[in-house]
Structure 1
Amino acid sequence: MQLSTSKRVEIVDITDKVSGVVRSSNIDEGMCTISTSHTTCAIIVNEHESGLVSDIMELLEKLVPSNADYYHDRVDNNADAHLRAVLLGNSETMPVRKGNIELGTWQSIFFVELDGPRKRNVDIAVSSSDFRG
C-alpha cells in the first residue's frame, strides 16, 4: 500500500485500508503483519482520539527533541526521525479471526510519519493458520 504524508510529523489512521486488505485476502483465520521498510517512520496500534494523538506527538518531541545536537544531523539532518522510529518500531502483527482483523474496542492501526512529507510504502501480509493435515 502506498500513502503520501503532508507534514514532517504526522499520525495517519490506516485501519480501514488494512481491514480491506485482510477481507480481500479471503483468509478466515491467521495473522496480519503491517510493516514499513523505511527507517524514519513507524507502525503503531493505539486509540484514535485526537487528544491522545497530540499527546503521542508531544511525547515524541520530549523524548527525542527535534533540535538536539545529533551526530547524524551532520549528514542528513533527520536524526530525530530515525531515533523516534527506533522507539516506536516498524511493524505490528494482529490476529485475523472470521476473515477480519481482530482489534480491541479502542484499537486503531497508525502509520507514523517522522520525516515527511513523503511518499511511503506500507506492506500488509496476511497469512493463514488454517493447517489441515
Structure 2
Amino acid sequence: MAVYQEEIEVVSNGNRVSYHEVTKEVREAVVKSKIQNGIVVITTPHTTCSVIYEEYSHDRDFCGDEYLQVDLNETLEKILPRCVTEGQYHHPGPEHVAFGEKDCDAALVPDRRSLLNTEAHLKGSLLGESVTCAVKEGVIQINQVTGYFYFVDWDQNRPRTRKCNIVVMGE
C-alpha cells in the first residue's frame, strides 16, 4: 500500500467563521499521489476547526459566504451561541486560563479574550475534524459537479494560519 501526504495552509479571517473551499487542492493531491484505488482523508489538527463535504451553493451573502454556510452558521448559533463572556460556558475554567496565560506562547494566547472560544471547540467536536472518501481509478468518488470539500475555522477571535492535511492511501 502506498501513502501520499500533503499539507496546505489557510488563513482565517478572524472576525467570523471562515470557510475555505479546498476541493481543487484535494483533487491535485490525488493526482500527484498516483494512487488509483484507495481513500483520501482530509483532516485538521486544530480543535476549533472542521473539514466538511457539502454541496456548492452558488448564491452568496455580502460577506462572500455561500448560503448553505450561512444556514449552517445560523443553525449552529442557535445550539451553540458565540462565547462572548466569562462564565457563559463552563470552559474556559480558571486552570485553563492560568495555563493559557502562563504556559502558552503569546502567539497562541495573545490575551484572555482569545480563550473565549468554547463554541468553536464544541462545533469542531460536533462536525468533526476529517472527511474520508473513496478513490477509484484515480478519481475521488464524490459528486463531480456539486460536491466540495471545505475547511472550516469556527474560531472567530482572531485571524490565524491553519493547517489542512491531505492523505491519500491505496494502490
Same fold (TM over 0.5): yes
Aligned residue pairs total 129
Equivalent position of 1:4 in the other structure = 11
Output one character per residue of 1:94-114: Cα deviation in whole Å (capped at 9) or x when no partner. Answer: 011121212124211110111
Q: Secondary structure, in 3 states, of the residue corresponding to 1:57?
A: helix
Equivalent position of 1:72 in the other structure = 91
Gaps of 5+ in 2: 1-7, 58-65, 98-114
Q: Secondary structure, in 3 states, of the residue corresponding to 1:103?
A: coil
* Displacement of 1:34: 0.7
Equivalent position of 2:24 in the other structure = 16
8 Å Cα contact 2:48-2:121 kept in structure 1: yes
Q: Provide the TM-score with structure 2 as the length reference.
A: 0.70
8 Å Cα contact 2:39-2:133 kept in structure 1: yes
Q: 1:111-126 to 2 correspondence within 5 Å? A: 111-116=151-156, 117-126=159-168
Q: Distance in 1 between matches of 2:117 and 2:69?
A: 22
- The residue type equivalent to 2:32 in the other structure is S
Output one character per residue of 1:69-108: Cα deviation in whole Å (capped at 9) or x when no partner. Answer: 1121453111010011111000010011121212124211
Which residue of the other structure, out of 78, 81, 85, is the alignment partner of 2:124?
85
Give the percent of matched residue pairs that are identical in Structure 1 and Structure 2: 36
1:110 and 2:110 correspond: no
Q: Distance in 2 between matches of 1:64 and 1:9?
A: 13
After TM superposition, which residue ranges in structure 1, 4 or more long, deviate above 4 angstroms?
none
Question: Looking at CA atoms only, which structure, 1 or 2, has the larger radius of gyration?
Answer: 2
Which residue of the other structure, out of 30, 39, 51, is the alignment partner of 2:47?
39
Gaps of 5+ in 1: none
Q: Distance in 2 between matches of 1:60 and 1:48?
A: 19
Q: Provide the TM-score with structure 1 as the length reference.
A: 0.89
CA RMSD of aligned residues (A): 1.5
